[in-house]
Structure 1
């Protein structure tokens, strides 16, 4: 029997201090060569162990082998020059120096497949793997070749589909595409963003997810949120179209967000990964706070389709904070699970 309210994380977990600088996003590696390769695998084992100790049901690699959730994938592609940097505004929020697309993009070898195969060897639990979504990849680059966000997105979707099919063959149960850009470029999302995402998941037999959040707890994101008012209704712009897509799971931010819970009704019928852990604070939720968020979500999604999750990745947090939040997520889900099953 499939477990009710299976828990998971949105993606990243903190890296150990011997691998990268703690509490720092996109920190450079502290190891090199074979030591770095071994260190990444050791960190993956640690990350898996911490998820298992906390009782997380659907486990991941914690993104231990990646510096950045988007550019680590792009680094392995041809057609992008990381030495040619341009400053662009990421998701209409903050300026960043990014690499340049200088020619046709192509993928000459798998990027994460060996890591996924390694994770698969470590556990019999369901595993989820995160990839950047096509639109968010486009939004993290300067394009001097295609001169069209849509054309570049379709090319990335094709390459992501190649990677996703090989991840599925390596034993991944859920492939998640991270699309924070979906919360910003509504017209593009509905015109071609979701269509490009559909191209990325084409032919997959495993479950697919799209993760749409309000970002890590960094200043640029928290400042942006302050200007969004008392109700964050961005999901309202894109959920109707996602509801008719072939994506299986929708991952969204809920806890401590000003997202009206009733917006989940717009994706009725989909499985929903409800963010019940706030990643923008060091305050560790109580199990009852997690349970309360899940109870509210259950008004708009069937229990069989509710997947308790974190709002976003936890890479910038201290390891003990992330550990506490994982424990709270698991304990809070267990409270509601027992209520649903009529247990004390």
Structure 2
């Protein structure tokens, strides 16, 4: 993924979240409220970050992330630190044309008054000598998680967020982050916007970075709203066909996608030829732990469409709603499956 991984074949990483310890938040509950307050919460989040790094290291992952242990929500935790957004003024909006949610309201110009995740990234950097990855919400997914009562233009608000994200990403890079990932599940829904300005705005968020850049596009956590939506998509899920050609021509280094347990035709990966691909070889909507052989099979099938040196085995999405023991098992399966395929490739 980053240049420091150029000698590592099939570098493994999780996409985003890991389950939080039960003393920090309700187990197996997505976006659960914190169980601690004040200084105890700060200490608890930092302890959980340390634990997540240790679990990934014990599982043998090549790239270590924070497991989103210090944030409650993958989008709104970042937005909470911005001015111009009123969290007391709530409106109900349709999230990614899939489910209704009560969201905060943009009431004025959005601004980043201070770094959001930089201190946490420094803590993670101090915990490992391995490359580290940090995920940020993408601009289009951010605007889809808010009610706009100020800008009146999705594109204008997205451009504001892209500039803010670029500020944060540059400081994360300076803190020692090797890989910066932008989460854009909205890219699987709003195709006209992606074509018109979405990829351009994403590139603006990543502008000037020397760190490896990743865009993660998935079909969502294994929650009912997402699984119900997936059931309507037919025998083949071809949403990636709309955006992969655009991303192949973009300045983003790596595209992260869902594969295991999905109905995504693998040939769509071929639309990314020349890019690095983080391939989801772990199904986060299934609590059964994959065998190493199953992981290797998923990865092996992709080699027809992506060169081995560009393939990065990963999870489909975050694992926050899963039991911790299941997530730990899935990480071990990911590394073991990648190791099996590495052995095959080494043998020629």
TM-score range, shorter chain: over 0.9
Q: Which residue of 2 aligns with 1:2?
A: 7
CA distance in 1 between counterparts of 2:24 and 2:347 reads 45
Q: TM-score, normalised by structure 1?
A: 0.99
Q: CA deviation at 1:33?
A: 1.1
- Residues 1:161 and 2:169 are matched in the alignment: no
Q: Which residue of 2 aligns with 1:51?
A: 56
Moved more, 25-34 or 161-170: 25-34
- Residues 1:222 and 2:266 are matched in the alignment: no
- Residues 1:26 and 2:31 are matched in the alignment: yes
- Residues 1:40 and 2:45 are matched in the alignment: yes
For residues 17-166 of structure 1, what are the structure 2 equivalents within 5 Å?
17-166=22-171
CA distance in 2 between counterparts of 1:3 and 1:41 reads 29
Q: CA deviation at 1:294?
A: 0.2
Cα deviation, 1:279-320, whole Å, max 9, x if unaligned, reads 001111111000000000111101100000000000010000
CA distance in 2 between counterparts of 1:220 and 1:286 reads 27
Q: Which residue of 1 aligns with 2:258?
A: 253
Q: CA deviation at 1:32?
A: 1.0
Give the SS at the match of 2:318. coil
Query: Once superposed, which parts of structure 1, at least 4 consecutive aligned residues long, lie more than 3 Å away?
Result: none
Give the SS at the match of 2:64. coil
Q: Could you tell me which of 294, 299, 302 is aligned with 1:294?
A: 299
CA distance in 1 between counterparts of 2:320 and 2:71 reads 11
Q: Structure 1 unaligned runs (5+)?
A: none
RMSD, aligned α-carbons: 0.7
Q: CA deviation at 1:342?
A: 1.1
Q: Which residue of 2 aligns with 1:209?
A: 214
Q: CA deviation at 1:35?
A: 0.9
CA distance in 2 between counterparts of 1:335 and 1:41 reads 34
CA distance in 2 between counterparts of 1:154 and 1:121 reads 33
Q: Could you tell me which of 176, 198, 203 is aligned with 1:198?
A: 203
Q: Which residue of 2 aligns with 1:242?
A: 247
Number of residue pairs matched? 343
Q: CA deviation at 1:104?
A: 0.2
Q: Which residue of 1 aligns with 2:194?
A: 189
